[in-house]
Amino acid sequence: MQPELDQFLIPVEFADYRRRLIIHNDPTRLAGERLASEFRTLLDTLQKEFGTLPQSMQFSAGETAVRVVYLADRRFSVGEVIATLRKRPHLDAFHLEPDSRMTPAQLGSGDRLYPEQWALTNIEAAAAWQRLAQVPPRPPVTVAIVDSGIDAKHEDFVGLDMSGLSIIGGTLADDTGHGTMIAGIIGAVHNAIGVAGAAPNARILAIKITDERTPPSALAGALGILAAVAMGAQVINLSWHVLATTSLLRLAIQIAGLDRRTVVAAAGNYGSNNSRIPTLPASYALSNMVVTMASDRHDDKCWFSNYGPTVDLAAPGMRVLSTGIYYVHPRYPDDNNGTSAAAAYVSAAASLLLGIDDWTPQEIREHLNASADRFRSLEGICRSNGRLNLRRAVCGPFHIVQPAGGEMLESGSTFDVRWTSDYADPVIGNVEIFAIRQGGGASISLGVFPDSGVQPVTLPNLTMPAFIRLKAQTKNLYADSAPFEIV
């Protein structure tokens, strides 16, 4: 283990999340040597007056220093300690909060089972995979699953590039099945023996924050996010929500954003509007977050799914088939219901986009919203009014209608290229038009133009079988025409 990752491990003595007190400074008011001195005084006071354990957790979230102490003396509750300390004016540069319980956003519990994966058909995954195979190869994209670990022995993970860290001690083994389900949706190997993961280019980073004996908490979630950032995750999947507000969790997601990491969050499973009853972290509305609600096979909102103006788009989340934990025979349960599963599909989408080009988290969010399939049933209940579509996201919006194929066009002549667009996208900007020799060889830029739907171009002074490629100038989103001849 990398030494710097030790700071994210929760000591076994801190097992009960209800006894954890989280303290962090306002870095604009308290920093440097004074901060260190004030922290020493405060920790000493806590131990003497309220019976905290002598050791504390220490880690940083950007410029913010964090300490977590454990209240061993059960005569005091964390809430009582915070209420007492808040009456002391000299501590007003410190933020004090209890740890908070979290809950998974799940209800219920080419590959052999691919025909049964209705979700992949709905979101047109196969076309996105084909495009990914056509573009110049890029390094695998690291997707962190901050959850319950992974059943790495599952047959559908054999050969999967996988690593991880358990911040609660022990192994990465999953004894609840939730993390394994998320991992299968994102990265199950295309090996003809089970289900197909939506992102064949994903490298899975399992950050284990909970098991059957260790309830998940906001502190564990924040530590998991910070660990994922430290270990190089480009996409961080949060298929859970906490039950009380916590500034540390928000800060961890903001730190991830500063490092250009995309955080995908489940909207929640209470069937409520997140603008009226905020669900966290989904309701933070941070610019590096993509918040996902759940839809069914008919593209209607699932009855249990949260919704609202802070939710970006829907993705499949009802009776989703994925990998499950097992002891004798490999399992593929199809009763996975929840915004947990929906978030996993959107994390896979982010991985596919990073497999074709560089994207900021903000660009990923806006592009996924722009390229979503619109449905009347989703109108007004999420920002995109639609459901994730991997083909539209990865392949882009363009359809070339001229040349239509089979034309004999004179070399050096002027010819109108015409195209339509499925959706308006803020990341598209101008387009570049190429004439490309069929079968490889010459690729000639005919110029950069506005995305107007029609553009006269001058064909090259060459004779060759060719096709036209229309490509977004700033992203590797393109469409190819049917073949024609330059004569």
| Concatenated DSSP letters of 322-340 | --B--SSS-B--S-BBSHH
**Scanning the structure block, which residue is given the tokens 């949060």?**
238
Count of other CB atoms within 10 angstroms of residue 106? 23
217 flagged as catalytic: no
Q: Estimate the crossing angle of helix 339-354 against helix 178-187, to 10 degrees.
A: 40
Type of residue numbered 136: P
What end-to-end distance do the CA atoms of the chain give, in Å? 63
The closest alpha carbon to 121, from 313, 297, 329, belongs to 297
Find the angle CA(226)-CA(231)-CA(237) to the nearest 5 degrees.
Answer: 60
24 flagged as catalytic: no
List the catalytic residue out of 178, 295, 351, 451.
Answer: 178
Longest Cα–Cα distance of the chain, Å, equals 90
How far CA 297 is from CA of 34, 123, 166, 188, 430, in Å, comes to: 58, 10, 35, 21, 36
List the catalytic residue out of 56, 166, 340, 384.
Answer: 340
What are the residue ranges of helices labelled H in 103-163? 118-122, 125-134
Check if the beta carbon of residue 164 is closer than 8 Å to that of residue 174.
no
List the catalytic residue out of 24, 99, 111, 147.
Answer: 147
Q: In 209-257, where do the E strands start and end?
A: 235-238, 240-242
| Concatenated DSSP letters of 408-434 | EE-TT-EEEEEEEESS--TTT-SEEEE
Where residue 260 falls (left for φ over 0; alpha for ψ -120 to 50; beta otherwise) is: left
178 flagged as catalytic: yes
Alpha-carbon torsion (330, 129, 311, 299), positive or negative: negative
List, by residue number, the catalytic residues. 147, 178, 340
